[in-house]
Amino acid sequence: MDLRTVLVVGTGLIGTSAALALRKRGVRVLLADRDQGAARLARELGAGEEWEASGHERADLAIIAVPPAHVATELLALQRHDAARFYTDVASVKAEPLHRAAQLGCDLATYVASHPLAGREKSGPGAARNDLFLGRPWALCPTDEAEPEARAAVLRLIELCGANPVEVSATDHDRAVAVVSHAPHVAASAVAARLADATDVALGLAGQGVRDVTRIAGSDPSLWLGILSGNASPVAEVLEAVATDLADAASALRALADGDGTATSEITQLLKRGVVGHDRIPGKHGGPASSYAVVQVVIGDRPGQLARLFQVCDEVGVNVEDVRLEHAPGLPLGIAELFVQPDAAATLTEALHQRGWQVP
């Protein structure tokens, strides 16, 4: 299925990221947003041209990238306008918008709902990236009514964005993302909320762990209220299980503090179950989780340090699979953690030593 022209409705983080990825692959992209400033900024970022300026040209595919509660009404309006041959959306919940679309009388033959499992804690076109979806799962939920060509159009979109298609029913999708995305988001918010009145001493001691666990808590609350409301029961079910684990851990720690040494086994069990769950998360390209070796390097807080570090990796032919920066508050240096294949760690460490880098 050839996608020559794609209309993106909702030029925020996800819509503009898809538009940028499509532009990179030579697809003509038309942009629309009820906030004209968002559509203009997306155009200025090179994501395409404004739909209005094109005289509302008909597209091969329209991507509806608006908050979940607006997906069905937007689909209906676009279909009434005959805006595109086929339609998809990218909302984080699938069953409710689909149900609403059916209720409103949308044409379900030309519509295949979808959801890229990639995002950021920032909103708006300014946060968009053309590589946001690379190697990420992208769910699609064709109904029995959907035309095969509509499904093919969405598969082509996913391919052009460099993502991996995962076909799943809307209900199974919602149950799955409750576990891997929506409940983790609420848990991150609950942990981050403890920091709202934490002392300056506590915040000054914050390391990478708390940043990792709370990163997504920085997301737009109104978007997330919409996501959680649209998937309320499955998310509540996961949160109830998490709450039980947390309550059990707290009582075990109370017992421990009161001198009951046997309580350690309950805590150990939870920590061990956590390791099992963590190890089951697939790696960055959707394959099995790989255990990279970590090379730690001390870097000065000066311009160009990271570029020089990557240049050494390039010189010795070591691929950096991931990178993490650990800042030391108040100090003019930090630690860069380079994640590399285990058999490349010694070569890189040696090369860095030779060039005068401090590798602890």
Residues that bind ligand ENO (CB under 6 A): 92, 117-121, 181, 216
Nearest to 224 by CA among 262, 173, 271, 187: 187
34 binds, among ligand ENO, ligand NAI, none (CB under 5 to 8 A by kind): ligand NAI
Distance CA 151, CA 132 (A): 22
Among 10, 48, 137, 142, the residue binding ligand NAI under the rule CB under 6 A is 10
Cβ-count burial of 97 within 10 angstroms (0-12 exposed, 13-18 middle, 19+ buried)?
A: buried
Minimum CB distance to ligand NAI, residue 38 (Å): 4
CA dihedral sign, ordered 142, 136, 11, 177: positive
Phi, psi angles (nearest 5°) of residue 115: -160, 110
**Partner interacting with residue 65 (select from ligand NAI, ligand ENO, none; CB below 5-8 Å by kind):** ligand NAI
What stretches of the chain show up as alpha helix (H) in DSSP?
Answer: 13-24, 36-44, 71-80, 95-104, 148-160, 170-177, 183-193, 200-204, 208-214, 221-230, 232-257, 264-279, 305-315, 345-354
Binding mask 29-58 for ligand NAI (x = CB under 6 A): ----xxx--x--------------------
CA-angle at 153, arms to 4 and 91, nearest 5° = 110
Residues 6 or more apart in contact with residue 30 via CB below 8 angstroms: 5, 6, 7, 8, 48, 49, 50, 51, 54, 57, 59
Maximum distance among all Cα pairs of the chain, rounded to whole angstroms: 75
Task: Tell whether residue 227 is a contact of ligand NAI (CB under 6 A).
Answer: yes
Nearest residue (CB) to ligand NAI, 100 versus 115: 115
Measured from the CB of residue 64, what is the shortest distance to ligand NAI in angstroms?
8
The only residue of 3, 7, 8, 9 in contact with ligand NAI, by rule CB under 6 A: 9
Give CA angle at 158 (101, 169), nearest 5°: 45
Of 3, 6, 7, 12, which lies in the binding site for ligand NAI, with binding defined by CB under 6 A? Answer: 12
Residue 181 interacting partner from ligand ENO, ligand NAI, none (CB closer than 5 to 8 Å by kind): ligand ENO
- Nearest C-alpha neighbor of 307 from the set 326, 323, 321, 296: 323
Size of the residue set binding ligand NAI (CB under 6 A): 28
Comparison of 191 and 225: residue with beta carbon closer to ligand NAI: 225
Which one, 176 or 345, has the nearer CB to ligand ENO? 176
Side chain identity at 46, as an amino acid letter?
G
- Residues in 228-287 at the binding interface with ligand NAI, rule: CB under 6 A: none
**What is the residue whose two structure tokens read 């090179």?**
46
> Of 110 and 231, which CB lies nearer to ligand NAI in the complex structure?
231
> Encoding tokens for residue 273?
């179950």
Region from 61-69, 182-190, 237-245, 323-331 binding ligand NAI, contact rule CB under 6 A? 61-69
Shortest distance in whole angstroms from residue 47 CB to ligand NAI: 12
Shortest reach from residue 71's CB to ligand NAI, in Å: 7
Range 82-141, binding ligand NAI (CB under 6 A): 90-92, 115-116, 119-120, 123-124
Interface residue list for ligand NAI (CB under 6 A): 9-15, 33-35, 38, 65-68, 70, 74, 90-92, 115-116, 119-120, 123-124, 223, 227
